[in-house]
Structure 1
Amino acid sequence: MDPIVEVVALVLGFVGWVMVGVALPNRYWRTSTVDGNVITTSTIYENLWMSCATDSTGVHNCREFPSLLALSGYIQASRALMIMSIVLGSFALVAALIGIQCSKAGGENYVLKGRIAGAAGVMFILQGICTLVSVSWYAFNITQDFFNPLFVGTKYEIGEGLYIGWCSAVLAIAGGACLTCSFQPFQAPLPYQSRGTAYSGAARSAAASTYGRNAYV
């Protein structure tokens, strides 16, 4: 595997993992603005953990969701997928640092290091898939309620937290694909052999024993 490809894959996976950590606590997964006059205009925004509201004067209040079981199923699933994404990314980073060829960790067992690097790539891809499913499922419910003419509740729009999640998923999948597609068991370099003809001792003795004899005897 090309060491440059390994480093690029590691950087992409690391940035994707960091962006998952940024997207998860971000408060703006969905937003809704209630227009009125200068004083009554307010903005409501939510994420997986809490609901917040702010008005035009800058005063804002947040409250955490009181019950996990009372939440919608897609919110519970999105929570689980995002947490799983962070866990998979953590294991993938450790495995990538051990498995890449330019790392001294793991000794000189190149075959084992290659397998660890391939496993890291798979975990990066799984991280991206978990993030992608979580934010896409959440966004699907937002758009479904927004375009439903019979929906009487608050209609939200897609917030910046989902866009961060999508970017994270793309980076993680790209980094994992670089590691996985370029994976091959590393082979230890062969010892250097000088050019020229190698003569064995038996061949030399045979040549010496026949020297000076008649070839037709």
Structure 2
Amino acid sequence: MEKRLIQISGFLISSLGWLFVLCTMAMDYWRITQLGGQGGSFIIKVAWYWSNLWKDCFTDSTAVTNCRDFPVLWSVTPFIQGVRGLLMCGLTLGFFGVVLCFIGMECTYIGGADRTKDKLLFAGAVFHFAGGVSDISGYCLYINRIARTSFAPSVGPGVLRYDLGPPIFLGLVGCFFILLGAVFYAVTVYRVICPESKVVYDYGGGTYMAPRSRGRTLYTGYYRPSRQYGSYYIDSGRSSSSKISKLSQTTPDKISERDAFV
């Protein structure tokens, strides 16, 4: 039950994050700046310049907006092309991640055996993580371009100093949700990443289990076997058919009187 709750929480959080990222691509005011707005006249004149991934716009104090759409793809500013490409790549990876995680969740009845579903869920978590990193890279590229102009000591004539708009912050929150959901998925299938090597050996009515460790491990169990039968070791470097081998065998401490007589 706990595993299902964690997986459902991861699915909801990651899906919400991808929804945030998808909405930012269609939102306005990625960057915005204001000119005017100071007192000194009867009519306060103010204008806003703002942009998104698809157009540059100008809005005056009368709420009239004039926009200039970006030209064809190969003539757009290179950093705009990079941001678009990173976000679209992340959304594509996120789509495959959502599908794989939905199939691999324990509460769904598709995907096959439990081990197969765990592998699918882990693959979906990797897709989520890669898509989230791609989206973060796109937002950071856009932020870097704005910061280089905003914090420059001097700018050329006609160059405006822009501020970050709401879509940037919404997208960063969405990326955080995506990575958090990927972590939730990975936590539930950590045994696929680090399987436990557990060997059970039945000898004389007793059960001996070898804990996982490096190199050779002495078989230990619920009680110690008699030294008469030797000590058994496991070597992790050998094949599965020859893992259990008898390396040494001690001689009995006592010799029966019949054998001594002979």
TM-score tier (shorter): 0.7 to 0.9
Instruction: State the partner residue of 2:166.
Output: 160
Equivalent-residue separation in structure 1 for 2:132 and 2:15 (angstroms): 12
Which of structure 1's runs of 4+ aligned residues deviate more than 4 A? Answer: 36-39
Instruction: State the partner residue of 2:13.
Output: 12
Q: Is the 8 A contact 1:99 1:113 kept in 2?
A: yes
Instruction: State the partner residue of 1:34.
Output: 35
| Bigger CA radius of gyration | 2
Instruction: State the partner residue of 2:60.
Output: 55
Q: Is the 8 A contact 1:27 1:161 kept in 2?
A: yes
Structure 1 counterpart of 2:4, one-letter code: P
- Which runs of 5 or more residues in structure 2 are unaligned? 193-262
Which whole-Å deviations, capped at 9, do the CAs of 1:131-163 have from their partners, x for residues lacking one? 111111101110110111232211111011101
Structure 1 counterpart of 2:140, one-letter code: S
Alignment identity in percent?
A: 26
Equivalent-residue separation in structure 2 for 1:36 and 1:171 (angstroms): 38
From 175, 199, 210, the equivalent of 1:169 is 175
Instruction: State the partner residue of 1:131.
Output: 135
Equivalent-residue separation in structure 2 for 1:2 and 1:40 (angstroms): 59
Instruction: State the partner residue of 2:114.
Output: 110
Q: Is the 8 A contact 1:17 1:168 kept in 2?
A: yes
Equivalent-residue separation in structure 2 for 1:151 and 1:54 (angstroms): 23
Equivalent-residue separation in structure 2 for 1:65 and 1:51 (angstroms): 7
Q: Is the 8 A contact 1:131 1:168 kept in 2?
A: no
Structure 1 counterpart of 2:188, one-letter code: S
CA shift for structure 1 position 182: 2.8
- Which runs of 5 or more residues in structure 1 are unaligned? 186-217
| Aligned-residue CA RMSD (Å) | 2.1
Pairing 1:180–2:181 present = no
Structure 2 counterpart of 1:99, one-letter code: G
Deviates more, 1:150-159 or 1:9-18: 150-159
Higher strand proportion (structure 1 or 2): 2
Structure 2 counterpart of 1:16, one-letter code: G
CA shift for structure 1 position 177: 1.3
Deviates more, 1:80-89 or 1:65-74: 65-74
Which whole-Å deviations, capped at 9, do the CAs of 1:92-144 have from their partners, x for residues lacking one? 1111110011111223x111100000011111111211111111110111011
Instruction: State the partner residue of 1:151.
Output: 155
Equivalent-residue separation in structure 2 for 1:86 and 1:39 (angstroms): 43
Which whole-Å deviations, capped at 9, do the CAs of 1:41-94 have from their partners, x for residues lacking one? 111111111111111111112221114333332211100011111111111111
Q: Is the 8 A contact 1:39 1:55 kept in 2?
A: no
Q: TM-score, normalised by structure 2?
A: 0.67
- Looking at both structures, which has the greater relative contact order when contacts are Cα pairs under 8 Å and sequence separation is at least 6? 1
Instruction: State the partner residue of 1:65.
Output: 70
Instruction: State the partner residue of 1:85.
Output: 90
Question: What is the total number of aligned residue pairs between the two structures?
Answer: 187
Name the SS of the counterpart of 1:42 in structure 2: strand
